[in-house]
Amino acid sequence: EAKQDRHAVRRFHADLSAAALERMELEQALRAALDRAEFCLHYQPIVDAATGEVRALEALVRWRHPQLGLVPPGRFIPLIEGTDLIVPLGAWVLREAARQLRVWRRERPGLRVSVNVAPRQLAQPGFAEVVQAALDEFSLDAEALILEVTEGAVLGQDGEAHVSRVAALGLPLALDDFGTGYSSISRLHRLPACWLKIDRSLIQDQDAAAPARSSRPIVRALITFAHEAGVQVVAEGVERPEQWRDLRGWGCDLIQGFVVARPAAPDDLVWGPWRLPSA
């Protein structure tokens, strides 16, 4: 038995160092990719639940890898968010989103773009200046970019202070992935957010087979709470027309998901307005 244990320990160490090596290589590759400008942004429409008109687009980063092709953020963002590399990448994302929005606004005044902001970015002392610089460079008003922060970022060390500092400057915040973490519903009224984004998992569970397992009462309660706090609700990951119909009936303000459109490069975007398909 002792022999088996020793074996397991050795295998564990081997795996660990392989993972560490991969991690280092990936980190170096990401650094080089930033220098070579291999990142690009795709955009997903966020539409008015009642009219189907596009109100905003969420900017979602992709890595155009010379060999691997288009790499989705799930493959590199979690790693990069643990390093200071997220700071320059995040700054690039903000500037690129602002540049693109300037172009779109010629035809669509009032359009907004939401950008994902990692906890480490938010904690940077100069973060608000980075956002302001992107807005100024492209002559955008303070409302143009919406900063998406997760519950994790708000709950983390000094999270609420960072969030409040940014909000005090008039930069709009969205609470992303709401309902996945230790939900801060009790603090919702204290958070200066303009949007509450209900996480896809809660939207998908709406139509769970067993009524007892359905998230419908939670989703409805979240919409009520948010509205009483003066916050608009975005439902994320809406895939089916029935989900859209229910959410609209419950007063949900905005819809984002494959039922409307998948994220796409700026040239491939379809602008709608989308009609709720009849069931």
> What string marks each residue from 118 to 157 as x (binds Ca ion by CB under 5 A) or -?
------------------------------x---------
Task: Pick from 3, 66, 69, 74 the residue near ligand C2E by CB under 6 A.
Answer: 74
CA 194 – CA 235 distance, rounded (Å): 14
CB of 243 to ligand C2E, least distance (A): 9
Tell which residue, 183, 208, 215, 213, has the closest CA to residue 196.
Answer: 183
Given Ca ion, ligand C2E, none, residue 122, with its beta carbon under 5 to 8 Å by kind, binds: none
CB of 86 to ligand C2E, least distance (A): 6
CB of 104 to ligand C2E, least distance (A): 18
Which CB, 223 or 255, lies closer to ligand C2E?
Answer: 255
Which CB, 78 or 266, lies closer to Ca ion?
Answer: 78
CB of 199 to ligand C2E, least distance (A): 7
Query: Binding to ligand C2E by residue 116, rule CB under 6 A?
Result: yes
Q: Which of residues 210-269 bind ligand C2E (CB under 6 A)?
A: 237-239, 257-258, 263
> What string marks each residue from 174 to 213 as x (binds ligand C2E by CB under 6 A) or -?
--xx----------------------x-------------
CA 51 – CA 234 distance, rounded (Å): 14
Q: Which of residues 46-105 bind Ca ion (CB under 5 A)?
A: none
CA 54 – CA 260 distance, rounded (Å): 10
Query: Binding to ligand C2E by residue 44, rule CB under 6 A?
Result: yes
Task: Pick from 151, 177, 246, 253 the residue near Ca ion by CB under 5 A.
Answer: 177
Encoded amino acid at 14, one letter: A
CA 23 – CA 91 distance, rounded (Å): 22
CA 198 – CA 219 distance, rounded (Å): 8
Which CB, 11 or 145, lies closer to ligand C2E?
Answer: 145
How many chain residues touch ligand C2E (CB under 6 A)?
A: 20
Which CB, 105 or 148, lies closer to ligand C2E?
Answer: 148
Give contact residues for ligand C2E (rule: CB under 6 A): 44, 60-61, 72-74, 77, 81, 93, 116, 118, 176-177, 200, 237-239, 257-258, 263
